[in-house]
Every structure is written in structure tokens, then in C-alpha cells.
Amino acid sequence: MPAPVFKASPRLPTISIAPGLWAVLFMFTQTAAADVLVVTDSRHPVQAPAGVRIIELDQATRIEVELAAHLPADPQQAAALVRQRLHDGGEALQRRIGHAYQGVADAWGLGIAKIPAVVVDRRYVVYGEPDVSRAVARINAYRSTQP
């Protein structure tokens, strides 16, 4: 049974196709979609092909938990330890934090309403399907019926 599809915003049309078309459409999945973005979190894992951008909405929180782990009770010592951890993490940590928050902003800007969400070309979305290839196949099928 295919995952339910919902409309995220007026900018993203919803898609629904008959389940019998999966086999025919699957072979076109990789070539027809130009830009694929997946929005999820750590509790909703997805199966995505290489090269697909995956935004985990709780990634920033997980990084903050790492930074705050085992802090001393004294606020000044705790602040100093967090500063040291940020310094030790260097540019790689700064990039992780920046990407995590940019992902949240991107998902919000698209009007994502549920997760997992597979978005193609910033115009089409399928909700609830953890298999990205199947979601993209549904989107491609919908697109092929539109003039």
C-alpha cells in the first residue's frame, strides 16, 4: 500500500497514483528527478540513493546535546567547557551546526508539514514514504501526466 500523500503548501502539489504502476515507473526514478531533498529526523530513517540531500530536523539538537554532555554544575566552568568543545571541533563542527540549522530553515521555507517528506525540484512532495526511490517514482508518474 503506498504511503499517504498530503499537500505541504500551495507551492507543492500532492501526488497519488495507482500502486500497480510501481514496476513500470521504478526504472525512470533516477533520471527524471533533477533535485531531490528528503526531510526527516533520527526517529524516521529513510532509504535514499547516494547523492540525495537528507535534512534531519533534530540534527541541531543532537549536536547541542553533544556539546552539553557531562557539564559541571558551575555555570562559568560549564560555559568554558562548551567554548573549549566548540574550539576543539573547529571548522568541521561549525559546518555541522550551520548545515543543521540551514536544513531546518530550508524545510520550513518549503512548508514541510510531516516527515518523512521527499521533495523534488522544490515543487512536488510525497509524505510518509521512507523509500526515496518509490517516492520519486510517484512524483515522476504524476509529472508525466501533467502538460
Is 9 part of a structural domain of the chain?
Answer: no
Q: In the structure grid, which three cell numbers stand for residue 23, read together?
A: 514496476
In a domain, 46, yes or no: yes
- Structural domains of the chain, count: 1
User: What is the spatial distance between Cα 49 and Cα 58, in angstroms, rounded to a whole number?
Assistant: 21
* Residue 12 belongs to a domain: no
Alpha helices in the chain (DSSP H): 22-26, 29-32, 59-68, 75-110, 132-145
pLDDT by residue for the chain (147 residues), tens digit each? 455 444 445 455 544 444 443 333 444 444 444 699 999 999 999 999 999 999 999 999 999 999 999 999 999 999 999 999 999 999 999 999 999 999 999 999 999 999 999 999 999 999 999 999 999 999 999 999 987
Cα–Cα distance for residue pair 140/31, rounded to 1 Å? 9
Can you give the pTM of this predicted structure? Answer: 0.73
Q: Is residue 13 part of a domain?
A: no
Residue 1 covered by a domain: no
Domain contains 24: yes
In a domain, 58, yes or no: yes
Per the structure, the complete domain to which residue 95 belongs is given by 19-145
